[in-house]
Structure 1
Amino acid sequence: MVYDNMNEKPNDQLISAYIQENVREIKRISTGHINQSFFIKGDNTYIIQALNKKLFLEHQDSLISNYLCYRSACEKYNTDNSDDYEFPVWLKDNEDRYFHCDINGNIWRMYRYIPSDDAEYKNVDIYEIGRGLWKLHFILKSCAGIKSIRTVSHLHDLSYYYKEYLYQNEKTVKRISDIDKVIKNNIDKYIKIKVPDGSIIHGDAKMSNMIIREGRVAGFIDLDTIMAGSLYDDIADCVRSCCMDNEGNMINHSFDSFIKGYEDASGSGFTQDSMNLIINNIEKNRFMLGLRYYIDYLSGRDYFSEEYPGQTLNKATKLLLS
């Protein structure tokens, strides 16, 4: 059995609670900010995740309820449309539970790995990304049971993050004056931007959470953030991941392709007011993400994992100052 260099890793006792296979390799997945994830290679391939207890310890029942609702909606969509839309299939442990608590108090979940044709998303048609996001939103319309459940209460809540920033701002000496100035000069403008809510959304609809098959979006993963919210926030998250360059500047032809894909899939176009709100909300969400990275830097909480020291501050600087 091969392990990569990790402090926390799933052991044989944990894995055997879910599967009875000859496990040949366990490898940590470096991407993802919320849960700690690993590839498990045995007779088949799986993903096993240690849940972020700060976010989800008190919401395990809600996560299960949301998952079952989403799985049911996907199954119905596939039946009604003769489609094979992909979704994670959670496994139950040897005590018939989706979540397994190990001897150290860590909470784990395992599901079958769903391969993607283009893991690095280098050859994806942005038009198809727009179509794929609309399909997800169409499926989520039938998940009415999720409306009352919000597992991450502050996601997309700029007022919440600004309060967190003010709290950190009072107690730290690590402040960056140029960033503080940008926040001060823009916070009121962005807080005033309001988007229609009440829809069911993914909550983190970035391209890396998509399953790509033959150039099209065949499904989504990382579903713990599914909640009642605004379609405009999902659109903003998606656009930021597929229509912006490394400096955070919009690539106009990619944005146009994304919007056309979403409109064509839905069968209707956005009004000019809707387009203005989409663009304003993209700017707001970019500002909010930069603020979150900056808060992480100020607090030292490490909510966002770093591939190298200082990456969190670098991301905050790029998003807020460029």
Structure 2
Amino acid sequence: MSSVDTALALVASRFRLEGEVQSITPYGDGHINVTYLISTTKRRYILQRMNTDVFPDTKSLMRNIELVTAFLKARGKETLDIIRSDDGGTYIDNETGAWRVYAFIEHTISYNLVPNASVFRDAGAAFGDFQNELALFDASQLTETIAHFHDTPHRFLDFKAAVEKDELGRAASCRSEIDFYDAHADVYPVIMDGLKDGSLPLRVTHNDTKLNNILMDATTHKARAVIDLDTIMPGSMLFDFGDSIRFGASTALEDERDLDKVHFSTELFRAYAEGFVGQLRQSITEREAQLLPLSARMMTLECGMRFLADYLSGDTYFATDYPEHNLVRCRTQIKLVQEMEASEAPMNAIVEAVMASGPTSTAEHGEGGAR
């Protein structure tokens, strides 16, 4: 184990791992937590240093994950497997941070871009099934890990504060982007107002439903497990649907510099809606269905203004590789919103057709659902 970083090796030694540690290497491309892959003589694990600036209540965060994964396991679902620390806890705290370990889910892949409509349809079914399973879970047990996470009006207030403060003097270089978000202020309250007045039901939601938070089987490409449960909280199913579309129905990565490559795909929107609504057909309300297209725009607007607010504030939240990284991300989101707005009529027609159709069958599309 001489080649393993000493500090990381000490962290790993605090968990009940099988076998002798052979390597600990950086893994993945997440924005928030720092992730490593542990390889031992027996198996592999995921080691993460949690971002306690973003998630200051580590105890409640891990309790949420422990409750939800135990519930899903009891229902026969494949999910994250928390590896206990040497004292039986779900994480450790030391001078280098708060750390946790999950068993590595072997023979899986994840996608940063949708490879085809069938995979995206299966992803929609996976997140729809995830919500279905958790409909039986007592949401009152969960702690809100990030206050106002998908509260778009509150995010807009944060954005306006960042513009006003303009810590690094960057606002002058992105005035058109700032104006874009100001011009959309009238739509920001729609979902939150619906939750407040009861016209939208409160559900247990994942709240970060990017395509790469689903592990697909490496052979069948069917969904196996929903991961990254840090933001699981009560909310609207529109948060989950909209964020999936924001990420998955784009033809480019969210930090693509060449905006000519960034487009919104109505066909991918259709595929995801078929999978997602197909799983929730018995419980989705008429108002939720009506707002599915708007939710895609809303989550894209919200994410973009968060990227821009972070850029204006000195890149303190999202990990960046270069000074304009968050501004580039913001611009891809603006391009997607513009194309979604131009596609409003076909998006509405797609939802109407999906709602009018029967349950989506796996045989019809040649792809299985989540298992």
With the length of structure 1 as denominator, give the TM-score of the two structures.
Answer: 0.87
Query: CA separation in 2, counterparts of 1:266 and 1:189?
Result: 25
Per-residue deviation at 1:320? 2.3
Map of 2:215 onto structure 1: 211
Number of the residue aligned with 1:177: 175
Q: Which residue of structure 2 lines up, in the alignment, with residue 50 of structure 1?
A: 49
Residues 112-147 of structure 1 deviation map (CA, whole Å, 9 limit, x = unaligned): 111353333636622211211111001111221455
- Do structure 1's residue 15 and structure 2's residue 19 form an aligned pair? no
Question: Once the two structures are superposed, what CA deviation does each residue of 1:47-67 show, in whole Å capped at 9, x if it has no partner?
Answer: 11111111323x233223312
* Change beyond 3 A, Cα 1:50–1:183: same
User: Do the aligned partners of residues 33 and 197 (structure 1) sit closer, same or farther apart at CA in structure 2, a change above 3 Å counting?
Assistant: farther
1:155-170 matches, cutoff 5 A: 155-170=149-164
C-alpha RMSD of the superposition: 2.5
**Residues 221 and 271 (structure 1), Cα distance of their counterparts in 2 relative to 1, 3 Å cut:** closer
2:147 equivalent in structure 1: 153
* Unaligned residue ranges in structure 2 (runs of 5+): 195-199, 253-258, 339-371
Q: How many residues align?
A: 311
Select the residue among 288, 291, 294 that pairs with 1:280.
294
Q: 8 Å contact 1:159–1:191 — kept in the other structure?
A: yes
Partner of 1:303: 317
Whether the aligned pair in 2 keeps the contact of 1:2 and 1:25 (CA below 8 Å) is no
Output aligned runs, 1:190-229, within 5 Å.
190-194=188-192, 195=194, 196-213=200-217, 214-229=220-235
Q: How far apart, in 2, do the equivalents of 1:229 and 1:99 lie?
A: 26
Check 1:212–1:116 CA distance in 2 against 1; reply closer, same or farther (3 A cut).
Answer: farther
Match of 1:250 among 250, 257, 264: 264
Give the superposition deviation at 1:178: 0.5
In 2: Cα distance, 1:146 partner to 1:55 partner = 22
Q: For residue 342 of structure 2, what is the aligned residue in structure 1?
A: none
Counterpart for residue 318 of structure 1: 332
Q: Please name the residue that 1:36 is paired with.
A: 34
Distance 1:64 1:145, change over 3 A: farther
Q: Aligned to 1:11, what secondary structure does the other structure show?
A: helix
Residue by residue, what CA displacement relative to the aligned partner does 1:178-232 show, whole Å, maximum 9, x if unpaired? 0121122111233345442420011111110101122221111111111000111
Partners of 1:243 and 1:146 in 2: CA distance: 33
Q: Is the 8 A contact 2:243 2:296 kept in 1?
A: yes
Q: Determine the C-alpha separation between the residues in 2 that align with 1:9 and 1:61.
A: 26
Q: 1:102 to 1:291 in 2, by over 3 A?
A: same
Out of 123, 137, 160, the position equivalent to 2:131 is 137
Deviates more, 1:215-224 or 1:189-198: 189-198
SS in 2 for 1:94: coil
Q: Please give the alpha-carbon distance, in whole angstroms, between the structure 2 residues aligned to 1:129 and 1:143.
A: 22
* 8 Å contact kept, 1:291–1:320: no
Change (3 A) 1:282 1:2: farther
Aligned partner of 2:121 in structure 1 is 127
- SS of the residue 2:229 aligns to: coil
Residue among 206, 230, 234 paired with 2:236: 230
Kept after mapping to 2: 8 A contact 1:147/1:227: no
Q: Give the Cα–Cα distance (whole angstroms) in 2 for the partners of residues 193 and 14 of structure 1.
A: 42
Change (3 A) 1:297 1:2: farther
Say yes or no: does 1:259 pair with 2:273: yes
Output aligned runs, 1:93-108, within 5 Å.
93-104=85-96, 106-108=97-99
Provide the C-alpha distance between the structure 2 equivalents of 1:168 and 1:237, rounded to a whole number of angstroms.
23
In the TM superposition, residue 273 of structure 1 has moved relative to its aligned partner by 4.8
Aligned partner letter, 2:163: N
Are residues 177 and 88 of structure 1, via their aligned partners in 2, closer, same or farther at CA, if it must alter by over 3 Å? Answer: same
How far off its partner does 1:99 sit?
Answer: 1.4
- Contact 2:73-2:79 within 8 A present in 1 as well: no
Distance verdict in 2 for CA 1:12–1:270, change over 3 Å: closer
Where does the alignment leave 5 or more consecutive residues of structure 1 unmatched? 79-84
Q: Which AA in structure 1 matches 2:89?
A: R
